[in-house]
Chains A and B, each alone.
Chain A
Amino acid sequence: MDAGVFDAEMRRIFERTWVYVGHESQVPAVGDYRTTTIGRQPVIMSRHEDGEIYVLLNRCRHRGSVVCRDEVGHSNYFRCPYHNWGYANDGALVGMAQSSGYPEDFDKSRWGLRKAPGVANHRGLVFAKLEEGGLTFEEYFAPVRKYVDWWLNRSPSGSISVLPGAHKYPYPGNWKWQAENGHDGYHGNYVHESWQRLLERAGEGTVRDVRKYRTGGCTRGFANGHGLLERPGGLNPAASWTGRMMVKYPEYAEALKGAYGDEEIEEISARRNIFVFPNLYLFDTQIRVINPLAVDRTEVHLYVYGLDGAPDELNRGRYRAHERFYGPAGFGSPDDVEIFVCNQTGLQASGVDWVLLSRGMHREKVNGDGETVGHSTDETPVRSLYREWKRLMAV
C-alpha cells in the first residue's frame, strides 16, 4: 500500500494507455457533454456539431481553471469561469474577454482545449488515450473484441442505451480489489452465500443447484491485461437467461434470429463478465467503471443500460434484477465491497510480502487463439491483469 506505486500506476497505466471514458448514448445530441477523469486528469466527453465525440482536457489554456463543472449537461460552448475564455464543443478557442490585451496576430488555433491524442469508438464504447505511441486501439482491443461484440449482440440491433443516473459506490481501498474481483469465480459460494439463500427462498434455484452452475464455464486470460469469467449459454431456457427470455418474449426470439445465426446466438447467450484493462467491466446489466482516487480510495460507477430493440418489459426485468443484486443497497455488491475493505485492513500486515494468485496454474491451457483458459474458479484472468500491469509499470 505504497502511494508511490499508485502515482506510478496513474502515470504509467491510466494516463498513458487506452482507458474507457463513456458510452456514446450518454451524449446523444450535439452539445451534450459528460465530465469524468482519465487517471487523475479531468476530461470532458463532448458531442460537437460535426456529430463526433471529442475527449478534451478540462483545463482552460489561460490560467488552468476547469471550464465545466457539471457531471452531465448540454451547452453550445464551454466557458472558463475565471476570465471568460470560451471554447467550442470540439475544444476550439472561440474567444477571450477583452481580447485587445492580446496582439492581433494571437493564434487562437494554438490555444484550444487540449484533445486526448487518441480517441476510439467501438460500437458506442468510447476509449481515449492521453499519450502518443504504444498500442493502436485495434491492437489493444483485439483479444477481447469478439466477446464484447457478443455481449452487445444480446440486443437485436447490436446496440445499447445507457440510462440516466448510475449506481455509484466508494470504498476505502485500492482500485485493484475491484479489478480482481469482477472475474473471480472462486468467491461466490462464500461471499454470496446470503444471496444463494435468497435464490433458494424465492424458488429460483437451490443452493446446491446454484453451486453446481457456478462450477460450469471457464475463465479466460488475454493479452493486454484483459480477461473474463464465462458461464455456458445455450438456447434451452433451463440453460441460460437469453434462452429464458426467448421463450418468454417470442418477439425477442424472432428479432435475435432475424439478426444472427444459431451458432452466434449460442455464443451470445453465454454469460460473461468481461474485463477490459484497466478500468472497464462489461456485465449483463451494467457498464462498470473503476475510478482510482488514491492508493486507498476508489469509486466504482455502474451504468445500467437497456438492450435496444428488446421488449420494454424485458429491459424492466433487467433493471429490477440489477437493483436486487448491485449498487449500494443491493444484495450482492455490498458483500463484495466488504471483502475489499477486509483486504485493505489485512494488507497492513506488511510482515507478509506476497498474496497468492497461483490458483489453476497447473491446469490452465492456451488455446489456438492464444487465450489462456482456466477452470471457472481459477485465477487465470487475474494473472493476465498483472502481466500487463507489470509490463506497463516497467517501461
Chain B
Amino acid sequence: MTMEHQAVHPGHPVHPGTLTRAEAEEFLYREARLLDTLRLEEWLTLFTDDGLYWLPIHDGEPADAKDAVSILYDDAERREERVFRTLHTPVLDQNPRSRTVHMVGDVEVGDVDEHGDVRVLCSQFVAELRAGGPRQVGLNQTRMFAARGEYRLRSTAGGWRMSLKKLLLVDADQPLYNLTFLI
C-alpha cells in the first residue's frame, strides 16, 4: 500500500485482504435482493463514487473499454441516470417492467488489485420476464442470462462498496433483446 494509493482512495483500509468469502457472498446476495425488489436507489449506494458498472462485448480490462464500445459502461452519473430513467420517467422499454430473479454462485475471493481493492469472482444466472396481455409480441417470455462476474470491493467507513461490477455475458457478442432492466 503506497501513500499514492491512499491519496487516490482516502479512507482505504490498512488491511484490504481481510474480505472473507462469507462477507463477499453476503454482499452479492444483498445486491441481488436489491435488484430483484427494484430498490435501485439503494443499489446505487453499493458503488464507490469512482465505481464502474460494466457489461463488455469482449473480455478485457476496464481501461480497454474507453476506446471500444460496450453493452454498457456506466460511471456514477450514468448509473444514476439509468435508475432515474427506470423509476421516474415514462419509459416504454420498462413498461411493463422486468421481473427478475438473480442467482449468484461460484463465489471466490481473489487477489488485491493495484488500487488495493479485492477482486471477487462469481457466476450469475438471471431469469427475466415482462408480463403483458395475451399474445403480445415481445412479452410473456422468460429469458435467461448467464454471466461471469468480476467485482472489486473496497472497504469504506460505510462497509464494503463496489469499485467495479463487471458482467461478461456468455452471449455478450450475440444479438441481445432488451437489456434495460438492471442486470
Contact = CB atoms under 8 A, between A and B. Distances in A.
A345 B69 contact: no
A339 B82 CA distance: 20
Nearest to A197: B89
Given A167-B69, A171-B177, A304-B69, A335 B92 contact: yes
Given A168-B174, A201-B81, A194 B92 contact: yes
Interface string A321-361: 01110011101001101110110110010000000000000
Interface stretch (B15-23, B103-111, B130-138): B130-138
Contacts of B72: 323, 327, 329
B68 A163 contact: yes
User: Main SS of the interface on chain B?
Assistant: loop
A245 interface: no
A180 interface: no
A319 B78 CA distance: 14
Contacts of A334: 92-93, 178-180
A193 interface: yes
Interface string A307-323: 00000100110011011
B89 A337 contact: no
A324 B78 contact: yes
A317 to B, nearest CB: 11
A339 B71 CA distance: 21
A320 B81 CA distance: 14
A191 B92 contact: yes
A172 interface: yes
A169 B137 contact: no
B93 A323 contact: no
Interface string B37-54: 000000000000000000
Residues of A in contact with B, size category:
35 or more
A319 B85 contact: no
B175 interface: yes
B179 A345 contact: no
A338 B71 contact: no
A331 B69 contact: no
B175 A198 contact: no
Given A169-B177, A170-B177, A329 B137 contact: no
Contacts of B81: 198, 201-202, 324, 331
A320 B77 CA distance: 12
B175 A169 contact: yes
A167 B85 CA distance: 21
B84 A328 contact: no
Nearest to A173: B137
A178 to B, nearest CB: 13
Contact of A165 (B69, B91, B136, B178): B69
Interface in A86-107: none
B73 interface: yes
Given A166-B69, A316-B67, A334-B180, A194 B89 contact: yes
Contact of B69 (A173, A322, A335, A338): A322
A341 B92 CA distance: 11
A32 interface: no
Interface string B58-84: 100000001111111100011001101
A364 interface: no
A230 B180 CA distance: 28
B138 A171 contact: yes
B10 interface: no
A202 to B, nearest CB: 7
Given A191-B92, A341-B137, A167 B71 contact: yes
A261 interface: no
B57 interface: yes
Contact of A168 (B77, B93, B176): B176
Contacts of A164: 58, 68
Contacts of B93: 334-335, 337-338
B178 A337 contact: yes
Given A338-B92, A338-B93, A338-B138, A328 B67 contact: no
Nearest to B84: A201
B18 to A, nearest CB: 34
A216 to B, nearest CB: 24
A201 B78 CA distance: 12
Given A168-B175, A172-B137, A198 B89 contact: yes
Contacts of A198: 81, 84-85, 89
B126 to A, nearest CB: 13
Nearest to A165: B57
Contacts of A201: 81, 84
A319 B69 contact: yes
A198 B173 CA distance: 28
B58 A165 contact: yes
A329 B180 contact: yes
A299 interface: yes
23 contacts: A165-B57, A168-B176, A170-B176, A193-B89, A194-B91, A194-B92, A197-B88, A197-B89, A201-B81, A312-B67, A315-B67, A316-B66, A323-B70, A328-B176, A328-B180, A331-B82, A334-B93, A335-B91, A337-B178, A338-B92, A341-B138, A345-B135, A345-B136
Q: Which A-B residue pairs are the 8 nearest by beta carbons?
A: A341-B138, A334-B93, A194-B89, A165-B57, A168-B175, A328-B176, A170-B175, A329-B179
